[in-house]
Amino acid sequence: MKIFIETLGCPKNFNDSEMAAGILEHAGHVLVGSPEEADLIMVNTCGFINDAKTESIERIFDMAQYKGDSKILAVSGCLSQRYEDELFAEMPEVDLFLGVNDYERLPQILEGYQRGKREKHLSDYNKMFMETPFRKLQENPYTATLKIAEGCNNVCAYCVIPHIRGKYRSRRQEDIVREAEMLAENGCKELILIAQDVTAYGMDLYDGFVLPQLLRKLCRIDGLRWIRLMYCYEDRISDELIQVMAEEDKICKYIDIPLQHISDRVLTAMNRRSTAEGIRRTIGRLRQAMPDIHIRTTFITGFPGESEADFEELLDFVETTRFQRLGVFAYSQEEGTPAADMADQIDEEVKALRQDAIMRRQLDISLSCNREKLGKVFEVLVEEDEGGGSYAGRTAYDAPEIDNSVVFTSGRDLKPGDMVRVEITDAFDYDLTGKEV
């Protein structure tokens, strides 16, 4: 069977799609690059917040236009796991619904599927991290995600992920290292560690949080150049983790810490463990150990009960802390979460205005931080040949898709995955330009 997979959402979803593709290919199916070629179209959806749900639903209907009488349309992922009954009733165009725990069973499901029937296959989460030995990588996998855990034990008041993905399950260190070695052998230079909470790694398998020990092992793998940490919780950033980050050259001086707010009153309402004092102290520890570290964070505006004073505290914090990388979400009222039933829900317009105010403030901060790079030389990972001797890439301070890019010129014939030294010649709000040196 020829299969096309369309993926939406976060890097964890794209990792799932690569696993699903590998499982299907191993079973004898053929992965194709467009829905027109496919016998089966699978949409791997996101169901985290309203905007993501809307995008997923629109994409399902887009793919349904290719279906005709001969193709099978399948929906998998978080949206399917979360709304299986509603989607089954309201989307007769879809033949198969799969959850986030059913990719290993795909070959058996397809083998038993009878055309013309509609089926749901949604399993509860497994008690242990389920290893899948097959993964379909890009042709030139110079950057790749590495999932080190699944699920989440944090019960943030606004979040549905524990309901969708289940409890936290760490992956065994030997399995993580084995996959990392395979990725390096296949040309991977940048390894991006992902989980719902990377800093919680090991809490269920080992005696405590063992992310620092895992990082030391990954840094010993030949071929890897950059190791990047995403989805870190502030209260679990230990002195040992900071020491490992500072000492190991392969670990990018970059960390993604979704802080969500700075007001203690709002953090408590969100059921976050962090406090304003703890957040400021952790940022100080990171910057003291690694003066060049780039911290990425995200905030939520308009959480139920967020007062004008709470918001002003957040705005002042953004201005004084000067995060190099920052994103903001307007609070999304998600059914099934404690926050959805809280009093003092904030008007949508107010949420959006507060979101915009922070992003406008961040625009100036980002430009200022970029201008500090003028005249300096950075290692850049080439991602795209833009023609005419011009290329686009990223520094170690930038995660793919979400952070800055560097557009530069070179007299050489470069290809994606090459790493070159670039002198920065101009700076903009969210991008840099330069020339290879």
User: Could you write out the DSSP letters of every residue in 86-155?
Assistant: HHHHH-TT--EEE-TT-GGGHHHHHHH--TT--EEE-PPPPSSPPP-------SS-SEEEEE-EES----
Please check if 159 is assigned to a binding site: yes
pLDDT for 322:
97
pLDDT for 433:
98
pLDDT for 11:
86
Under 8 Å between Cβ of 325 and 286: no
pLDDT for 380:
98
Please check if 369 is assigned to a binding site: no
pLDDT for 132:
77
Residues of the chain below pLDDT 50: none
Please check if 46 is assigned to a binding site: yes
pLDDT for 370:
97
Q: At what angle do helices 276-289 and 239-247 cross, to 10 degrees?
A: 30
pTM of the model: 0.91
pLDDT for 103:
87
Which domains does the chain show, CATH number per domain? Answer: 2-121 (3.40.50.12160), 137-256 (3.30.750.210), 289-372 (3.30.750.200), 377-436 (2.40.50.140)
Please check if 10 is assigned to a binding site: yes
pLDDT for 131:
75
- Amino acid found at 77: G
Using the 8-state DSSP alphabet, how is residue 194 labeled? Answer: E
pLDDT for 189:
97
Please check if 152 is assigned to a binding site: yes
Neighbours of 69 (CB within 10 A): 6
pLDDT for 45:
92
